[in-house]
Structure 1
Amino acid sequence: MSALFEPFTLRSLTIPNRVWMAPMCQYSADVSGPDTGVANDWHFSHYTSRAAGGTGLILVEATAVSPEGRISPADLGIWNDTQTEAFRRITSFLKGQGTVPGIQIAHAGRKASTDRPWRGGAPVGPGEHGWQPVAPSPLPFNDGHPVPDELTTGQIAEIVGQFADAARRARAAGFEVVEVHGAHGYLIGEFLSPHTNHRTDAYGGSYENRTRFALEVVDAVRAVWPGELPVFFRISATDWLTENAEDDRTGWTADDTVRFAADLLAHGVDLLDVSSGGNAPRVRIPTGPGYQVPFAERVRTGTGLPVAAVGEITEARQAEKIVEDGQADAVLLGRELLRNPYFARHAARELGGEVGSPQQYHRAA
């Protein structure tokens, strides 16, 4: 059997194959009124089409734990009952197709309150349904971005509670995997990196202090998430600062990621979703096919924590080799699944694997 189409079990949950959908924001929720942050027909169509295409696990896009935690006013949220109920329609359909439904819960930190990317992605203010961002330290993300408010220790504790509440709601909505978003320069990643965390209290300075908030979030989520179901964590393996010889800024590194992966494993995380970048603007990243896979492999080899690899994975045989060679336990596809919702079905045909087929499509099975 193709390695890419072998089932994968974490705790009591078995995922039917190793072709997974990465969380990708759609910026398509209502921005005001009672349906703010609520999944709608666009989200239903977007996710269910990939399930019909044979994708083994679908991670729903970064879903905010609070209104202030959204990247944009048009982001999804999971801080109220209306949002929770809307997700049930999606999770029910996904499970009906044999796909495992997962969700990424997130807080955008200093990168919050921005416009949709196809409208430029610039910061938006209260007149455009925006708000004042918060962060570990009062450092703007980029030129033209507002200086975020520095979080107090009381506010940090409140956000930890919001992550726990979001995980509880996610389970009520029917999700079977919850992923904590610690990547791409959003709030948790901002605490991790010395580039964005200039605090002098218990949440800043040393490695132990900078990782404190992330581990508190993980512990809070793990405490309310069923013990038989897995918790994922998404991380930027590097800020790409120390890898740029001309850049003297200090950031989070690949060595930090391996060290932190061991901590996450000890705190009950079941899989690390390994990405990179996003915490610093104007950084040169040497992209190319599979360019982030070595980071995932380092974690898997160094800690034994299962990993999923991302980053310009576009071909069936490329994905097969990543799993077959033990570089990662699964691949998370992003742009390729936007281009081709039926990637898994096509890859199975090419590699001799098997995926379930909707009964309505039996003629083409």
Structure 2
Amino acid sequence: MYETLCSPVDYGGLTLKNRIIFAPTSMGLPREELLARMRAIAAGGCAMIIVGDVPVQAHGFGPSLFSQKGFAFYRELADAVHAEGCKLCAQLHQSDSDLKGMLRYIPGVLTGRISKEELRPLLNAQVGPYITGLPEAKVRAITAAFGPAAERAVEAGFDMVQVHGDRMCGSFSSSVFNHRTDAYGGSAENRTRFAVEAVSAIRQRLPDLPIDYKLAVRQEDPHYGNAGVGESELPVFVPRLVEAGVTSFHVTLANHGDLSDTIPPKNHPAFGAEGCFLKFCDEVRALTDKSVCGVGGLTDPDFIEAQLRAGRIDCAAMSRQLIADPAWPEKVRTGQAGTIHRCVRCNKECLGGMMAHRGVHCIYEKTERKEHP
């Protein structure tokens, strides 16, 4: 019944056992709890896990590939995931947060004068001035850092790397944030330079490594997302990324707006439907023959099978659904789709848990604790 969904696929040069990928997610969990969660998702049958926000430099948000402790964590994670027959991808990124600028808000956050909801737009407002003012030499040093980071990722056991097309890549790509007047700003061709250099730095060091690219797309009518690539600019960005070495595209909505836009609830005014971001995949598919992975409120195996069979996407990525039920792929494979805990896209314990700094969880966890005290 789900022949395409359950069939192997060549995803950008990497053979996956089926078409289901765990989308990159900032989990906010302690190390042991995170390892257990990733192990459960791998054991549930998905083909690959993308580990979100792996910093390309020695210092950054998240475990560092260049520290003994961070490298050991990624090595342990790779071993655990591979033991379940699952591949592992490192989402390499550089933050676009102005750390010095953030300091001014710490007193307000500590005293409660600035709420968590108020803090995000304040930080987003700093992004444009920060990336616009970065010296060229520092920009080149950052893009060059993607190469050594990819090498360390491979040494740690990752099978693929993904360049995070949001964060600093996305901010350099965006005409909303990027107001530079040098070779990294102005035209769409110039604004793609940061991403192209990052991809090229990896390709020069690792000629055969599959490179995925999280292509963050900004919608203008109506406006959603502030970073990333405008829909009308995709014909400029996609060919240049392919020429630089990208072998597959993970296509989604651009960030730096409300988190409930990029992680939309069921009642979202524009993105409430199943497969809410797949229209961006259609636009990318028209521009390249490289593999395309779709994401956005995917929960229904019948819907996903239809999109895969039609050739609209090559793989389907999920985050909230695999947090709600890690065994989704295995249940589909073994004819138990009717027993899936379907994500209802309430955002209460996933996005809500992240915003409250208690980590990403699911409402089903509370139900399971009641059933199995």
Coarse TM-score class (shorter-chain normalised): 0.7 to 0.9
The aligned length equals 313
Supply the distance in 1 between the matched residues of 2:300 and 2:69 (Cα, whole angstroms).
39
SS of equivalent residue, structure 2 residue 122: coil
Q: Does 1:91 align with 2:78?
A: yes
Letter aligned with residue 279 of structure 1: H
Supply the distance in 2 between the matched residues of 1:309 and 1:18 (Cα, whole angstroms).
10
Q: Which residue of 1 aligns with 2:165?
A: 182
Change over 3 Å in CA distance of 1:328–1:111 after alignment to 2: farther
Cα RMSD (Å): 3.0
Supply the distance in 1 between the matched residues of 2:152 and 2:320 (Cα, whole angstroms).
28
Supply the distance in 2 between the matched residues of 1:101 and 1:270 (Cα, whole angstroms).
16
Supply the distance in 2 between the matched residues of 1:159 and 1:257 (Cα, whole angstroms).
24
- The runs of 5 or more residues in structure 2 that have no matched partner are 111-118, 262-267, 338-373
TM-score, structure 1 length as denominator? 0.77
SS of equivalent residue, structure 2 residue 293: strand
SS of equivalent residue, structure 2 residue 121: coil
Q: Which residue of 2 aligns with 1:64?
A: 55
- The runs of 5 or more residues in structure 1 that have no matched partner are 30-39, 116-121, 129-139, 353-365
Aligned residues of 2:165 and 2:228 also touching (Cα < 8 A): no
Letter aligned with residue 339 of structure 1: A
Letter aligned with residue 256 of structure 1: E
TM-score, structure 2 length as denominator? 0.76
User: Counterparts in 2 of 1:1-365, with a 5 A limit?
Assistant: 2-10=3-11, 13-28=14-29, 40-66=31-57, 69-70=60-61, 75-110=62-97, 124=106, 142-143=121-122, 147=126, 149=130, 150-183=133-166, 186-227=167-208, 229-238=209-218, 240=219, 242-244=220-222, 252-280=229-257, 286-288=270-272, 289-350=274-335
Shift in Å, 1:254: 1.5
Letter aligned with residue 251 of structure 2: V
Supply the distance in 2 between the matched residues of 1:181 and 1:114 (Cα, whole angstroms).
23
Supply the distance in 2 between the matched residues of 1:88 and 1:254 (Cα, whole angstroms).
38
Higher helix share: 2
Letter aligned with residue 221 of structure 1: I
Aligned residues of 2:189 and 2:237 also touching (Cα < 8 A): no
Shift in Å, 1:10: 4.1
SS of equivalent residue, structure 2 residue 92: strand
Aligned residues of 2:228 and 2:255 also touching (Cα < 8 A): no
Change over 3 Å in CA distance of 1:20–1:26 after alignment to 2: same
Alpha-carbon deviations, 1:302-353, whole Å to 9, x = none? Answer: 321211000000111111111111110000101111111111011213499x
SS of equivalent residue, structure 1 residue 142: helix
Runs of 4+ in 1 over 4 A off after TM superposition: 111-115, 122-125, 281-285
- Percent identity between matched residues is 26
